[in-house]
Amino acid sequence: MNAFMEQYWSFYNAGVAIFLFAGLSLVLKLIFFRRKRHKKEPHLTFKHWNHRFESDFRNLEKELHVVQFLPKDATKLLKKAKKKEDKEEKQKNKEKSEKTVMDIRKKLEGGQKTKEVLKQHSNCVYVLTFIGNIMAAEVEHLRDQISFLLEIAQPADEIVIRLTSPGGAVPQYGLASSQLERLKKAGLRCVVCVDTVAASGGYMMAAVADKIIAAPFAIIGSIGVVAGIPNFHRVLQKNEVDYHLFTAGKYKRTVTPFSKVTKEGKQKMQDDISAIHDAFKKVIKEGRPDVDIDEIATGEYWLASDAKEKGLVDEIMTSDDYLCGKIEDWEVIEINTEVNQNRLEKLIEGGASLFRQWRNSKIPGAGEEVDDLSQRFR
């Protein structure tokens, strides 16, 4: 009797646990489904670099007024000089504005269209940020940002891409570099700034630009292709396990994890990799016609200072220095894509970001080009 009751209660508890688990799963599914239905689409946000520190400067001035570290007479003298400088600056800006207005008025009275006049007087630098992983996940945001810029940017404007990428899958980075090619086809000047790494597929993106600027210790290059597939055929044979693979087409599957690797299959895999490498080199040569392609397309990577000597980089400078140098004469506007996330998604994204930082801090070029060539044939 006791054994029966123990068995009964164990089945009862198991049933209750399964029922509770199923109910909890259903509730969670409904919650996520409702959130997904009402989830807002990603949208673009804008940051004006020219005025990004204005509030900080005002706060600093207030703080300096509270904590005096100069004699009062000296402070009064500085205030007077500052007012005079501000007045002169306002007068200079006013004269410049009046001159621009007169110039535009003459052109409009001369019969020029407003669109043509706007092209001549636009002076914006649009800043995009691309942080690439092995699958170039941000390419979706990049394509939306570039599509937006193609609608509003004028030929006199400049597009700056702050690029960070150790490379990744061939199709994804091919698409990413094609997005930058759209800017060039539209007649827009494109500048890529590399502060940390642009290797493999990341450098393929950079090579499309009109100019490449890199920080002194940025990693540049790794122009090569890699593929690796473990093979368990002998393990299966040893354990008397048969593996049957059915294909239609001679080269539908050449090297797989469980089939016997033949010389013909290995050669076909090598031919595929070489063909991708040739296409890679062609993109680099088109973007950087002066480089010795056979010297640089070895899979090696270099510091930016050495890469400049090989023609892979045009200028050694951080993106901050380049953009701050533009502020005086240009309107510098940073464009980002904001995605509305719930707390769980933010937690997951934060963890993924930490993992990417840890991975990128390891061996340069890790996670390069082709991890799975089979993607090309699906």
The residues assigned a catalytic role are 200, 252
Please name the residue ranges forming H helices in the chain. 2-37, 54-66, 72-109, 114-121, 139-152, 170-185, 201-207, 233-238, 263-287, 293-296, 304-309, 319-326, 343-360
The span from the CA of 186 to the CA of 362, in Å, is 38
Cα angle for residues 35, 41, 47 (degrees, 5° grid): 125
**pLDDT tens, the chain, 378 aa long:** 555 455 545 555 656 666 666 666 666 666 665 555 555 678 888 888 887 777 777 777 666 665 566 677 777 777 788 788 888 888 887 887 788 778 778 877 788 777 777 766 678 999 999 999 989 999 999 999 999 999 999 888 999 999 999 999 999 999 999 999 999 999 999 999 999 999 999 999 999 999 999 999 999 999 999 988 899 999 999 999 998 889 899 888 889 999 999 999 999 999 999 999 999 999 999 999 999 999 999 999 999 999 999 999 999 999 999 999 999 889 999 999 987 766 666 666 677 777 767 666 654 444 444 344 333 333
Closest CA to 218 of 246, 243, 193: 193
b/e map of 341-371 (b: 16 or more CB within 10 Å)? Answer: eeeeeeeeeeeeeeebeeebeeebbebbbbb
Contact 47, 334 (CB under 8 A): yes
User: What number of other Cβ atoms are within 10 A of residue 257's Cβ?
Assistant: 12
3-state secondary structure of 346: helix
Q: Are strands 301-303 and 219-221 parallel, antiparallel or unpaired?
A: antiparallel
Q: What is the pTM of this model?
A: 0.73
